[in-house]
Amino acid sequence: MVASPPPVRSPERGNLRVGSEYLIGIGERETVPSSRLQRLLDFVERPGAAWTIIVLNFIGFVGGTILWYGDHFLGRAAGKWYLWPFIPDCPGFAFLFIIAFLGLRWGRDWRLFNTITAYGLIKYGVWTVLYWIAYWSRGGPVEPLGMTMFISHLGMIGEGLYVSYRIESPVGLGPSERQGGLRPRDVLMAFGWFLLSDYVDYGLGQYPMFDTAVVPMALMKWHTVFMTFALAAVYLALSKRPRTDL
């Protein structure tokens, strides 16, 4: 058995280097040469790309909360502070991704938090993408705001898939490789949270602002409920599969 060479510091930014791989400065890890997917993940986790994603998510959190949900907080949710955690769906999960991303890089075992974060990123990212497709297909104008939201929420879906993969994949995560993947109890707790969120949105009338004159309420409502059950089913299946890669 031939021993691999020890990691060395690169002269640039003090990042850890393993072979030809430069790794993110906000939380160093070891990698192994692998597939195109792994190379894509390595690119996302390099300092420049990682900090760009963090900054864009923070801008999305602040801008979305103020510009898209500001009137909601002052109107339908005024005085109902106990409902506020359920209201800024997409901006809220954009912010939670920052925490999950940094936690993964630092090797933190936050599986419940990461499961809820990944679940929400995919659920609300798909909701927004579906809304704009339905809006445009029914004659709504194609404008810069809609295009920006469409593209940014495709990014949210990608972030949800990234967190899901990093919970499941033990490769290249340093201390967090001991997480061991998704756990059924975490998935069920996330499922319960999003069922409650769906009730707040469509049972208590706190659903996100959208043009119901163009896109039917029923479409968005039942899509939301479907995604809650579908994601729970997918994550439960992943949590119960044999982990031969550990």
Q: What does the alpha-carbon distance between residue 205 and residue 173 come to, in Å, rounded to a whole number?
A: 42
pLDDT (mean) for 70-82? 88
> Which of 12-26, 108-122, 169-183 has maximum average pLDDT?
108-122
Q: What does the alpha-carbon distance between residue 239 and residue 179 come to, in Å, rounded to a whole number?
A: 12
The larger pLDDT score, comparing residue 10 to residue 96, is at 96
Q: What's the predicted TM-score (pTM) here?
A: 0.81
SS (H, E, C) 163-182: HHHHHHCCCCCHHHHHHCCC
Q: What is the pLDDT of residue 140?
A: 93
How sure is the predictor about 34, in pLDDT bands with cuts at 50, 70 and 90?
low
How sure is the predictor about 242, in pLDDT bands with cuts at 50, 70 and 90?
low
Environment class of 223 (CB within 10 Å of its CB; exposed 0-12, middle 13-18, buried 19+)? middle
How does pLDDT run across 114-166, given as a tens digit for each residue?
A: 999 999 999 999 999 999 999 999 999 999 999 999 999 999 999 999 999 88
- Residue 19, pLDDT > 80, answer no
Q: What is the pLDDT of residue 117?
A: 97
Judged by average pLDDT, the poorest of 27-36, 45-54, 133-142, 194-203 is: 27-36
Long-range pairs for 76-85 at CB < 8 Å and ≥24 separation?
Answer: 76/205, 76/206, 77/206, 83/200, 83/204, 83/206
Residue 224 identity: T
* Three-state DSSP state, 22: strand
Sequence-distant (≥ 6) Cβ neighbours of residue 123 within 8 angstroms: 160, 194, 224, 227, 228, 231
Q: What is the pLDDT of residue 96?
A: 97
